[in-house]
Amino acid sequence: MAKVVVLGAGISGHTAAIYLRHYLSRKHQVVVINPTRLSQFPPSNIWVAIGKMKSKHVIFDLEKIYRKNKIEFVQGRALSIHPEGDGSEDRPFVMVELTGEDKQGEKINVDYDYLINATGPRLAFELTEGLGPDKYTYSVCTYEHAEQTWKALQEAFEKMKNGQKQKFVIGLGHGSATCQGAAFEYALNVAYEIRRRGLQDKAEILWLSNEYELGDFGMGGAFVRRAGYITSTKVVTEGILAEYGIRWIKRAGVYKVDERKIYFEKLDGSMGEVEYDFAMLIPAFKGAGLKAYDKNGNDITSKLFNAGGFMKVDADYSGKPYEEWKASDWPKYYFNPDYNNIFAVGIAFAPPHPISKPMKSPSGRVISPAPPRTGMPSSVIGKTVASNVAKSIKKGKLVLEHTASMAEMGAACVVSAGYGFFTGAAATLTVFPIVQDYEKYPEWGRNLSYTLGEVGLAGHWFKYMFHHLFMYIVNTRLLWWALPL
């Protein structure tokens, strides 16, 4: 009998857990450790933050799902990994602090044969002074944040109805923040709701980004086929923002927010500030902060994790110059090279380098986005790792039959701009591969047969249907495993 422990139940962790249970017989244990009993589908938090969905539509009950599927659930927060045991016990384990109401604060050890780290990001609001829902800005990173943001947005709408002008600043709250797509989508939805209410003359909307050019989205931008022509995501993005009446500031690293202003440094070293009435800014991401120790109690955290707290896997971390980066630098299997029974999926794994060209201001401030690893890539990676772990258990040795390199996988990003089956719209971008491969595609870095961009009602339908498809799968309803992920 083998025991697989999954740390975290976001998109990648939950996907890994339910597929492990599907692939393995009941004699094997699947254990999920997560701080809360509820998880969420983050892409739909945008619709919660504009009042078109309730939180209950984007969350799912882990305890209920796992009970049905014979998956053990531990409500707790992983503190440290002990891949060699601790001297008195040779079996590897994870130290966990329980977070359930009845056992809150109690610490236990959970042993494992295979470990999948899916702890996701820590929202590092503290890296930007004054940033965050408990300070001066709002967020859409969690459903709780989205609820709070919707409440504040309604207040802003009321002020506009009463004749008071409002300035909205939406974008990235740190020089290295990623998830540009989520912030961009929220900006378009806010603009749509303002227009729908006829309040355009009372609103000013500003897109504030760390991107070198708009449409970078943390993946170096892209050239796409659109209406029979090849164009850049820069042109498409600028056109959409202009259509919705949104001004923009790019190449900006936000370093401070107070109750009236947002302060930033530009890539050229100039300093800027902008006043606001409502601000939704995405924070930088860090790893969960897990520690690691060998059997003698020595700290080996740097052996398993990079400086940002993300787990090292089968990637090239040599730190070579940007000009020498290759698609082959990216991991395929997501196992730690020192402990090949430990895997990392989704945002928990350490990318070998950014996808966009890294840039700094003259002062040394990083002003370029980190690589995105959310949504579709996270679920694909989670499923792939689950498949390899299950096969390894069945064969009694490490088996790596399936790969999920971001340099060999495509992704679709659907950015909604309004909500409604006949009135909504969305910008749909597909890229293949996610990480540019100039050796295979020397002209564009990607295969333009599968790298496309369109704007229209069909994209909104796709996003709406994908929301319900995902919720059907994660709730493991009838024949869920037969549906495309």
Structure tokens at 429: 């971008």
DSSP labels, 118-166: ----EEEGGGSBT-STTTT-B--SSHHHHHHHHHHHHHHHHHHHTT--E
Q: What local confidence, expressed as pLDDT, does residue 229 receive?
A: 84
H or E element: which one contains 342?
strand 342-344
Query: Taking CA 222 as the corner, what is the angle to CA 220 and CA 224, rounded to the nearest 5 degrees?
Result: 175
**pLDDT, block means (10 residues), the chain with 485 residues:** 97 98 98 97 95 96 98 98 88 96 92 98 98 98 98 98 98 96 95 96 98 96 85 93 96 98 98 98 97 96 97 97 96 97 98 97 98 90 98 97 96 81 77 96 94 79 88 96 88
Distance between CA atoms of 379 and 409, rounded to whole angstroms? 12
Q: What local confidence, expressed as pLDDT, does residue 89 receive?
A: 72
Distance between CA atoms of 26 and 24, rounded to whole angstroms? 7
CATH topology classification for 3-122+285-362+373-395: FAD/NAD(P)-binding domain (3.50.50)
Structure tokens at 218: 């943390």
Q: What local confidence, expressed as pLDDT, does residue 419 receive?
A: 76
Amino acid identity of residue 86, one-letter, is D
Q: Where are the domains of the chain?
A: 3-122+285-362+373-395
Closest to 36 in 3D by CA, of 76, 93, 86, 96: 76
